[in-house]
Amino acid sequence: MAWHSVMLAARSAPFLVLLSTLAFGQDPKPDTTRRPVTLPTIQTTAPRDERVVFEQKPNVGTITITGRELTSAPRFFGEADVLRAVRLLPGVTARNDYSVGMNVRGGEADQNLVLLDGYPIYNPFHMGGLFGAFVEPMVDRVEFMTGGFPAAYGGRLSSVLDVRSAVEPRPDIHGRADVSLIATTVAVGSGMQGGRSTWTVAGRRTYADKIADIYKKGSLPYHFSDAQAHVTRVLPGSIELAFTAYDNVDHLTQSSEETSNADQFHLAWGNRLLGATLSRTFDDPPLLLGIALGDSVRVEQRVSRSRFDVHMQLFENALTLNNRVIDDRVAGLLASFSARHTRRVGYDLAWQRFSFDANYPLILYPSDSIVNRNTTGGVFIDDLWRPNQRLVLQTGVRADAVSNGGPPIVQPRMSAKYFVNGDLAVTAAAGQFAQSTHSLAREDVPIRALDFWVGSGPDAPMSRAQHYIVGVERWFSRSRALRVETFYKRYPSLIEQNPNSDPNVPGDEFLRIHGYSYGADLMLRQFETGRFAGWLAYSLALSKRFDANGVAFDPGQDRRHDLNLVGNWTGPRYTVSARFNLATGTPYTVITGQFNRRDYDPSRHVFEFSTMTQFTTGARNTERLPLAQRLDFSVTRNGHIFGTKVAPFLSVMNVYNAKNVFAYVFDYSAAPPKRVGLPQFPVFPTIGVSVVW
Amino acid sequence: MSGKPRAAAIALAFALLSACAVPEEPIPIAPRQLVVQAVLDLGAQSCLISLEWMDNGSRVHGQVTGANVSITTLDGRVIRATEDVFIYTPGFGNQPRDSARWNGMYRVDLQKNGVALLPGATYTLDVRMLDGTHATGTTTMPAVANAPDDRELSRFSDLRDTLRLSWKRVPGAKSYQVTVRAYTKDAPEITESFYSIFTDTSVTIAGTARSFQNDPVFPFGSRVDVTVVAVDDNYYTYFHPSVDPLAGAAPSRLTGALGLFGSVAPVVIRRYDVR
């Protein structure tokens, strides 16, 4: 028998790997004697991914979390939701139940880059932000960077949410089905060729419309659906190919035969993504211009098309709104690895087409037309250096440019970690960031149903920010860690939608603002090793913005305190999850009075008696909404039927029906005047079942 | 009670109190503010000025009486306004049939005073209230001759026809407002639907178009008056933004009051019988 060794690996839990090494002799000469050999068994515990990252990277502002951990929080309307769970992390605040996106460390909600396997997604939400659009069983892990992120990431000012698709390396078809009152999700996958090829496919669709059709056809003409696929394959020459496809769409359409033309409407919005990555790792890399590239080199090339569409047509086109984003992108990376350095150099080049038009003004968006055809380019170089056992330094620089957007913006970035001892480290980061994609949504509007995207141009310059972060990270045990970070973010250049933009005047769609945010956030995290897992996340943030006239105001996202407690108790039969949130109010502009704006009828030369109520306002965002708090709860019965894991669950959102106000309606026609608080979601129980095979 | 149970009890009481809170509450009465809305219309024989106090939660009635209102022409001539008074009409409740007549409406009768509005001329509005409140504003009439009143009835099919109009650019006009007012032949004073848009120098409206209130712009069987007016900057700034509670009222060009003193000049006038 030729000399060789065999390594057996068994992964029974995310953190435990049992290894047995079988060594078939050290002598290359054939051994024809067949005799039993007793081999020693080695048991070792692999460190958690988070611990590895703690030891090897500065990871300032970065939280790595598995999809399983994220969805251990109680379900929202029975749906496990990665993006909703991300809002429970430190540094993140969510405005309310009716707003898409999130605000990270005082930043505006359009400053967050969402990536799926490295490809950008523009609006990964359903139902105006009620649900995240990622199919939960397809999420392997999430890396969430709340500031000071490395030079490899560009295009946004505040955060990067990098979602990685799950792979299924096991042979045979495995899968999971989640059935709730709202939707059914099915995910299946399999590994082939010893795990060298894998595929996973998942889909989700709501069916409230179908149930309503039983009683009256077309009575609930809304549904959303998701489809996601991820394929990996190792090609000849050790070239790795990964392919990701993603499609989500919301449909709100009333066009049945019973409906008159006047009452028909059509609203649809969604994302579509196709992306492919070719990569190869060279264990014995060649010299480049005579320079050794390191012990190994990884080369990666990505190509993708990401598309976002919104189409609305109401009342025979009395109201139409369209927004389209097409982002064709190529990106590449060369990374070299050596004992002390990990160096990366890369680029991305995108051809972006943005178009927006609306023929009727509402407060959610302008009545205007905006078209951009931008070519954006970015290059970066980054070096992760471990000069000694106590210090890790990551330095880099990135340059981003956009056609018609002025000169390139050079963004130096640096982060460092100093180990006081093996479990305690002090971290720091500083960097500059630029953004060439902007949302037309206004931060002051409490409901953010959708983001409508446009690109930078002569009248919408690239936004810029600077981050300064200092923190401490402490591991109390292999399953418990604490991280505290303070931050200061300066925004020398931002833009916001002009609520009084004139559709006949090009270039007045945006107003220029600037400002700063500062604060701190804390995360005490219990990893899943025993029965309890969860985290405590506290965020403190204070933000100030200045309008074009230099007038200071608190931006709409300025939530000062936000506390989230997320816990998950797993027993032999039941898993109990709970989430409690306590958050101070965000600012709003007080209404100071109202009068009747009378339409003038030039055909009769009189004022129309029918009028619209016009409100007058006080100084911008000087009042605050009240404290909000909420408890969500779910219990899951963990059982098996014929060897298949079957887990029915009960989930209750807003257990004690807290009436958390997200906006006020003022009435000055009453005496005395009054305001009515508009509450977020009331108590809502739901049931469902998960089946895993 | 020891520390932990007491803390838990306080937390529970806090949560329950919050859960039971009714999210409606009285708020303080806001300061009183005058609202002036006035339009000089080159095609009209009088100018209407609406005066009212903004609703501020007090029991003070909004409409203003007893004010001293005048318009000053370019040559310094001062024309006093008279006060319209709403006369209760049985059968119509509090809804006056003539929308030009209600308390707080003032009228400058140009014809009676022998004044002709001039294209390109600037006019000043002056309002003095009994309590001493003083408001002023100016407007400049777009420089176009009065459009011919082409109200000869034309037929229009809501299913087959499309309204297409174009006109020449007017000096001094910020924009052009197209209004489509529908009414019945038997009750021309009652507006059935009112559609208004601002545009440049042309407009196309399909016969099947509907307003955002989902009313047909050209209701079958109705009469429709289509009017295009050139509007000054004050008028356009006041009316073109949507009513936005979060952005507040459109910027006022008046001193001492909120509202509008603007001017319009007709450039197209049409009347259609929708069949």
pLDDT: which is higher, A223 or B85: A223
Q: Say yes or no to pLDDT of A97 above 90.
A: no
Question: What does pLDDT average to over chain B?
Answer: 83
Categorize the per-residue pLDDT at B102 as very low, low, confident or very high, splitting at 50, 70 and 90: low
How many of the other CB atoms lie within 10 Å of CB of A548? 11
- Of the candidates B31, B238, B248, which has its C-beta nearest A617's C-beta? B248
Please state whether B32 falls in left (phi above 0), alpha (psi between -120 and 50) or beta: beta
Residue numbers in B near A361 (CB within 8 A): 241-242
Mutate one of B17, B18, B105, B217 to test the A interface: name it (highest A CB count within 10 A). Answer: B18
Categorize the per-residue pLDDT at A450 as very low, low, confident or very high, splitting at 50, 70 and 90: confident
Categorize the per-residue pLDDT at B29 as very low, low, confident or very high, splitting at 50, 70 and 90: confident
Residue A628 buriedness (CB in 10 A; 0-12 / 13-18 / 19+) = buried
Q: Say yes or no to pLDDT of A359 above 60.
A: yes
Residue A218 in contact with partner chain B when CB distance is under 8 A: no
DSSP notation for A481-504: EEEEEEEEEEEEEEEEE-TT--TT
pLDDT at A607: 84
- Of the candidates B54, B58, B246, which has its C-beta nearest A671's C-beta? B58
| pLDDT per position as a tens digit, A164-204 | 999 998 988 999 999 988 889 999 999 998 888 999 999 99
Does this complex have an ipTM over 0.90?
no
Scan residues 22-61 of B and list those with Cβ closer than 8 Å to A. Answer: 22-31, 33, 35, 37, 39, 41, 43-46, 48, 50, 52, 54-59
Question: What does pLDDT average to over chain A?
Answer: 87
Average pLDDT, integer, range A534-561: 95
Residue A369 in contact with partner chain B when CB distance is under 8 A: no
Inter-chain contacts counted by CB atoms under 8 A, chains A and B: 203
Instruction: Name, of A134-138, A415-419, B100-104, the range with top average pLDDT.
Output: A415-419
Contact A605 B41 (CB under 8 A): yes
Please state whether A572 falls in left (phi above 0), alpha (psi between -120 and 50) or beta: alpha
Can you give the length of chain A in residues?
693
Categorize the per-residue pLDDT at A42 as very low, low, confident or very high, splitting at 50, 70 and 90: confident
The fraction of chain A above a pLDDT of 70, given in percent, is 91
DSSP assignment letter at B63: B
CA A381 to centroid of chain Cα atoms: 25
pLDDT at A634: 92
Categorize the per-residue pLDDT at A16 as very low, low, confident or very high, splitting at 50, 70 and 90: very low
Scan residues 309-348 of A and list those with Cβ closer than 8 Å to B. Answer: 315-319
* Whole-number Å distance between alpha carbons of A403 and A391: 40
Residue numbers in A near B35 (CB within 8 A): 595
Question: Distance from B138 to chain A by nearest Cα, in Å?
Answer: 18
Residues B243 and B120 sit within 8 Å (Cβ to Cβ): no
Instruction: Name, of A43-57, A352-366, A454-468, B51-65, the range with top average pLDDT.
Output: A454-468
Residue numbers in A near B240 (CB within 8 A): 502
Categorize the per-residue pLDDT at B6 as very low, low, confident or very high, splitting at 50, 70 and 90: low
pLDDT at A507: 80
Average pLDDT, integer, range B114-129: 93
pLDDT at A1: 39
The fraction of chain A above a pLDDT of 90, given in percent, is 57
Q: Which residue has the tokens 């505290």?
A: A484
pLDDT at B36: 94
Categorize the per-residue pLDDT at A99 as very low, low, confident or very high, splitting at 50, 70 and 90: confident
The pTM of the full predicted model, rounded to 2 decimals, is: 0.85
Scan residues 246-275 of B and list those with Cβ closer than 8 Å to A. Answer: 246-251, 258, 264, 266, 269
pLDDT at B8: 63
* Whole-number Å distance between alpha carbons of A226 and A132: 10
Contact A600 B191 (CB under 8 A): no
Contact B209 A318 (CB under 8 A): yes
Residue B198 in contact with partner chain A when CB distance is under 8 A: yes
Q: Say yes or no to pLDDT of A9 above 80.
A: no
Q: Say yes or no to pLDDT of A6 above 50.
A: no
Lowest-pLDDT choice from A333-347, A350-364, A617-631: A350-364
Categorize the per-residue pLDDT at B21 as very low, low, confident or very high, splitting at 50, 70 and 90: low
Question: Distance from B205 to chain A by nearest Cα, in Å?
Answer: 10
pLDDT at A27: 52
pLDDT at A185: 93
Categorize the per-residue pLDDT at B191 as very low, low, confident or very high, splitting at 50, 70 and 90: confident
Tell me the backbone φ, ψ of residue B12, rounded to 5 degrees: -65, -45
Q: Say yes or no to pLDDT of A18 above 50.
A: no
